[in-house]
Amino acid sequence: MLAVSTGYDLRAKLDSQGYYDDFEVDRVAAVETNPKAKQSDLVAAIAPVADRLLKRYGAAQQERIDALAREDEPAAQAAKDKQDALVLFKGDMGAYLRLYAFLSQIFDYGNTDIEKRYLFYKRLIPLLEFGRERETVDLSKLVLTHHSLRDKGRQRLNLSEGETPKLPPIDATGSGALQDKEKALLDEIIAKVNGLFEGELTDGDQLVYVNGVIKGKLLEDELLIDQAMNNTKEQFSNSPDLAQSLLNAIMDALDAHNSMSSQALNSSKVRDGIRDTLLGPGQLYEMLRKQGENRRGAQR
The predicted model scores a pTM of 0.51
pLDDT at 185: 76
Distance between CA 3 and CA 257 in Å, rounded? 9
Residue 208 and residue 100 in contact, taking contact as beta carbons nearer than 8 Å? no
Q: What are phi and psi of 17, to 5 degrees?
A: -70, -25
Digit-coded pLDDT (tens) for 35-57: 888 888 888 998 899 999 989 99
Contacts of 142 (CB under 8 A, 6+ apart): 39, 42, 43, 46, 47, 123, 126, 127
pLDDT at 91: 84
Chain centroid to Cα 95, Å, comes to 3
Contacts of 121 (CB under 8 A, 6+ apart): 14, 93, 94, 96, 97
The 10 Å Cβ neighbour count of residue 268 is 11
Q: What DSSP element (H or E) covers 116?
A: helix 112-124
pLDDT at 146: 52
pLDDT at 285: 92
pLDDT along the chain (300 residues), means of 10: 57 88 92 85 89 90 90 90 87 82 62 82 87 61 55 42 41 41 74 79 76 85 91 90 87 72 85 90 88 76
- At 167, the amino acid letter reads L
